[in-house]
Amino acid sequence: MSDFEDRLQAFRPRLHRYCARMTGSSIDGEDVVQDALVKALQARAEGVVVDEPEAWLLRIAHNASLDFLRRRARAVVVPLTEDIEEEAAAPEADALAVGFQTFLRLPELQRCAVILKDVLGHSVEEIAATADCSPVAAKSALQRGRAALRALARQPDMRLPLLGQAERRRMEDYVRLFQAGDFDAIRALLAEDVRLELVNRLRLDGSAATSRYFTRYAETAWHVAFGAVEGRPAMLVYDNPARAGRPAHFVLLDWRDGRIAGIRDFLFAPYVMEGVDWARL
């Protein structure tokens, strides 16, 4: 791995802190981070010279977040160059304690400003550079965003999945097999073209390659439970036998015709757990 790639990896958790709040989802935020890093590597391969890698990466991540939101039509996008009047300073919101979905309810520029200043510690001038707006607009957006976030933070942000009986039983059965260590039975559920992603580490295609993935779990003392992450059914993974406290990480599954078509394991991306909403079911 090159020095440049090493720097990208080192900066990945900070990029995720930004993208998760911009998209309103820790999981979607990781997708955007991956997209941003691919774009950065492509630009580097094309000979782009970067004097300030962190600022450059944040601009790429910012634009990738907006592209994601526009594709998914998850939020009304407020133009970044909108003329905003200056107003009195508002109390600072506890941005690190606010759920990701709450950020999505802020207008785009306010969201960008609050995340960059109160989560990542950037200056108003750096906010303006990332968002391509004036420092006056950035400062006003920061003040308004802090006030709005403070009000929104009083409202609950938990999302639980709406599961049919068959879907719930399928996930519960998978977790029970994991708890029993019956990995042969789990392997029998894999679709031939199953895709495995160990986020931030590797990807495997096909049941033969994916079968080896379960060996790690068979050899370690992880403890699992059925739950939800951001409204999606998930297997919660704990590093203590009581399955108490916050999960260490989680695993998402995609199913097709009763078979496991996709596995997304966040074992190697612990930063995704920061601020994510989850629940035991």
Phi, psi of 237 (to 5 degrees): -120, 125
* Amino acid identity at 234: A
Instruction: Give residue 101's pLDDT.
Output: 82
Q: Give the domain range for residue 114.
A: 3-152
Tally of domains in the chain: 2
H or E segment and range at residue 262: strand 259-265
Contacts of 225 by beta carbon, 8 Å cutoff, 6+ apart: 175, 235, 236, 238, 243, 247, 280
Q: 172 and 141 in one domain?
A: no
The whole-angstrom distance between residue 25's C-alpha and the CA centroid of its chain comes to 5
CA separation, residue 275 to residues 40, 76, 99 (Å): 26, 23, 6
**Sign of the alpha-carbon torsion through 27, 33, 38, 41:** negative
In order along its 281 residues, the chain shows pLDDT tens digits of 578 788 888 899 999 999 999 999 999 999 999 999 999 999 988 888 888 888 999 999 999 999 999 887 544 444 444 333 333 343 444 677 777 888 888 999 999 999 999 999 999 999 999 999 999 999 999 999 999 988 887 765 555 555 677 888 899 999 999 999 999 999 999 999 999 999 999 999 999 999 999 988 888 888 999 998 988 899 999 998 888 899 999 999 999 999 999 999 999 999 999 888 898 88
Q: 171 and 86 in one domain?
A: no
Q: 273 and 170 in one domain?
A: yes
Domain-embedded: residue 160: no
Among candidate residues 152, 179, 208, the one where a domain is terminated: 152
Instruction: Give residue 73's pLDDT.
Output: 58
Asked whether 90 and 152 are in contact (CB, 8 A), the reply is: no
Domain-embedded: residue 251: yes
pTM of the entire predicted model: 0.81
Asked whether 96 and 275 are in contact (CB, 8 A), the reply is: yes
CA separation, residue 176 to residues 69, 173, 244, 278 (Å): 36, 5, 17, 19
Q: 102 and 208 in one domain?
A: no
* CATH number for 45: 1.20.140.160
Q: How far apart are CA 234 and CA 172, in angstroms?
A: 10
Instruction: Give residue 157's pLDDT.
Output: 55
Helix 26-45 to helix 53-72 angle (10° resolution) is 120
H or E segment and range at residue 280: strand 278-280
Instruction: Give residue 77's pLDDT.
Output: 44
Measured distance between the N- and C-terminal CA atoms of the chain, rounded to whole angstroms: 41
Q: 27 and 117 in one domain?
A: yes
Q: How far apart are CA 210 and CA 190, in angstroms?
A: 8
Domain-embedded: residue 139: yes
Among candidate residues 104, 120, 152, the one where a domain is terminated: 152
Among candidate residues 123, 152, 181, the one where a domain is terminated: 152
Q: 201 and 116 in one domain?
A: no
